[in-house]
Amino acid sequence: MVIKDNIDALYLSLLNYIFTFIRTVATTLNSAILCNIQKEYYRFGIYFEKSVTRIKKYNTIF
């Protein structure tokens, strides 16, 4: 029984390590993808910001 409990605990800690690793990799990839999107669409962001400013300036809705 003690050996079985130890094996179960080892199995659970191994699963915890694997899922933590997967979560870390996914978070890193997500951050990299978001940074890449921000770099690619920087000009679009500036255009959108100017459009919103123009709309607020004239108090019109499109």
pLDDT digits (tens, 9 = 90+) for 27-59: 888 877 777 666 666 656 666 666 666 666 666
pLDDT at 9: 86
Residue 8: pLDDT band (50, 70, 90) is confident
User: What number is the average pLDDT over the span 17-28?
Assistant: 88
Taking the C-alpha atoms of residue 36 and residue 31, their distance in angstroms, rounded to an integer, is: 9
Q: Is the pLDDT of residue 16 over 80?
A: yes
What torsion, rounded to 10 degrees, do the Cα atoms 58, 59, 60, 61 define? 130
Q: What is the CA radius of gyration of the chain?
A: 25
The domain limits of the chain are 2-58
Higher pLDDT, 31 or 60: 31
Q: What is the pLDDT of residue 53?
A: 66
